[in-house]
Structure 1
Amino acid sequence: MESKKKTPIFLHILFILIALSTILPLLLVIIVSITDEHTIQVNGYSFFPEKISFEAYRYLFLDSGTVLRAYGVSIYVTIVGTVVGLLMCALLAYPISRRDFPAHNKLAFYVFFTMLFNGGLVPWYLVFTKILHMKDSLWGLIIPGLLLNGFYVLIMRTFFSTSIPTPIIESAYMDGAGEFRIFFQIVLRLSSPVLATIGLFYTIGYWNDWFNSLVYLSNPKLYSLQYMLNRILLNIQFLVQNTRNNHAAEQMSAMPTETVRMAMAVVGVGPIILAYPFFQNYFVKGLTVGAVKG
């Protein structure tokens, strides 16, 4: 009996330590972002800073219109990309999950093949810019490399084949329902765990993406938040390292380089932290049920 009581206590302590190991670094980033730059240079990072300063956020939002516009671009791209990507994944995963679909094995292999090989960066760029004309377009942030992921399709296919009872589909056929009605009114409604899981993957992928902005955009008004923050950081580092004038060098050395870096992390990760609790109830169930069997 004593050993049985000790086991839950040990597990509680273990999970508390794991939770702290994930929460404390985030808390440190937030604290450092509101710490005075000179204090960090003298004392290093600390959970209890000697002097509080919001200079990093003030510097980051000097041009608040640009930051808010980048926020809007990232929010729009994330929402549209997640919704369209989920729909396309489901529309591809459902047919290859059906044993009565003649080409389901060949199509599943084709999806798997795309996970192993790709055409490379140059053909990838030429197709989307010269043929599909996505240069300086928001579609250039949504479609290339992000919209349809073979791994997500296979997870969703496995969920459909293992968690959607076949008798329900057969009963719907007997009642006169067509394929589209079965898919949208029955299959999708029973697939909320895997949809929420893949939706979270899509949300994180689109929100954190900066590479498509680097490759496809030259118009600053279309920059995503992550790419804009990355450019700000690179500009600060360039100015600090290449300033020759002594007076200017003193001013550059006073710039909040370390605190700006942390403030950028806080600004960039904030919406994802707020969105995660809405997916949490379905996340573990959808991921495990959809990935147990192949």
Structure 2
Amino acid sequence: MNNIKRTPAEKWFDLVNLVLVLGITAIILYPLVFVVFASMSDPRLMYDSPLLLWPKGFNLQSYATVFENSDIWRGYLNTILYTFVGTSINIFMTVCGAYPLSRRRFFGKGFFTFLFMFTMFFSGGLIPSYLVNQQLGIVNTMWVLVLPGAISAFNLIIMRTYFQTRIPVELEESAYVDGCNDIRLLYKIVLPLSTPIIAVMILFYGVGHWNSYFEAMIYISNRELFPLQLILREILIKNEFSDMLSIAVDEQYAERMIVREGLKYAVVVISSLPLLVLYPLLSKFFEKGILVGAIKG
């Protein structure tokens, strides 16, 4: 096979593209790198240079101070629990809703799809939602954070569309001929072929639960049930550092402000770490052609 010789213009085009991609990548990644380096730097040296390309005066005291705070650990465990339970409920309910709506034989699927889509644009509002949750007896419990949002209409439509367009009709018909019912078809054929969309839904729902704090701020008054993001809100916005800065109580105000900045960067890194680990693990499913070769001829 003869190799096609590239022209100088094509080579320059590739070079310009490479430079642009590297530049955009650096712009996107630098804020994250800055926060990581700032969290490991001596807070008193961070302000000597506006740009951090490496830790200034390597120091992990901010992390040690954060981990000494019991509220951080309790919030971490609560958030992990809420994320795991909530995402599990979300995936189960979304699959149960999307699969019937994707079936051609399901009578009234257009009407039910409209009802789901209607909730994307109109809702009862905060006060009616609070009254409903109060009447259900789930206010100030874990369930108020995972049950009211059990299904996202947007994600339901995405999964329904995936079932309609990516699951071959011939495969379903052959399964029916072999004696499969709808439940067995869903469990044995549809779900194994839907790994990419399930991974995307896990990511969407999981990130939503992990970053959620507004619902907890409205419905949760028991501090033992606070998620991590609500604890971080107190630290980053309300500046409640009294327990974490006992060593700096007698220092000057400016000194305390410097130490607080180091703590802010440390808690941001700690709260973002699970998501930074989750993204690479699930990204491989986004482009994986799992249906290639599912049908022959």
Which category describes the TM-score, using the shorter chain as reference length? Answer: 0.7 to 0.9
CA deviation vs aligned residue, 1:141-162 (integer Å, no higher than 9, x gap):
21233x2101100110110100
* Paired residue type of 2:74: R
Mapped pair 1:144 → 2:151: no
1:1-294 paired onto structure 2 within 5 Å: 1-2=6-7, 3-41=9-47, 43-44=49-50, 46-48=52-54, 50-63=56-69, 65-128=70-133, 130-145=134-149, 147-236=150-239, 250=252, 253-255=255-257, 256-284=259-287
* Paired residue type of 1:136: N
Q: Equivalents in 1 of 2:125, 2:58: separation in Å? A: 48
Shift of 1:184: 1.2
Structure 2 spans left out of the alignment, 5+ residues: 1-5, 243-248, 290-297
Q: Equivalents in 2 of 1:52, 1:163: separation in Å? A: 51
Correspondence for 2:245: none
- Alpha-carbon spacing, 1:68–1:283, altered in 2? closer, same or farther (3 Å): same
Q: Equivalents in 2 of 1:166, 1:275: separation in Å? A: 33
Q: Equivalents in 1 of 2:59, 2:213: separation in Å? A: 29
Q: Equivalents in 1 of 2:17, 2:138: separation in Å? A: 51
Contact 2:234 2:240 in 1 (8 A): no
Q: Equivalents in 1 of 2:287, 2:227: separation in Å? A: 30
- Alpha-carbon spacing, 1:248–1:171, altered in 2? closer, same or farther (3 Å): same
Contact 1:144 1:212 in 2 (8 A): no
Q: RMSD between aligned alpha carbons?
A: 2.3
Contact 1:197 1:283 in 2 (8 A): yes
Q: Which has the higher helix share?
A: 1
Shift of 1:23: 1.9
Contact 1:136 1:217 in 2 (8 A): yes
Q: Equivalents in 2 of 1:212, 1:260: separation in Å? A: 25
Shift of 1:187: 0.7
- Alpha-carbon spacing, 1:238–1:278, altered in 2? closer, same or farther (3 Å): closer
Q: Equivalents in 1 of 2:254, 2:137: separation in Å? A: 41
* Paired residue type of 1:140: V
Shift of 1:122: 0.6
Q: Equivalents in 2 of 1:5, 1:51: separation in Å? A: 43
Contact 2:46 2:56 in 1 (8 A): no
Shift of 1:49: 5.0
Contact 2:235 2:241 in 1 (8 A): no
Q: TM-score, normalised by structure 2?
A: 0.84
* Paired residue type of 1:22: I
Contact 1:134 1:140 in 2 (8 A): yes
* Paired residue type of 1:254: R
Q: Mean Cα displacement is larger for which, 254-263 or 152-161?
A: 254-263
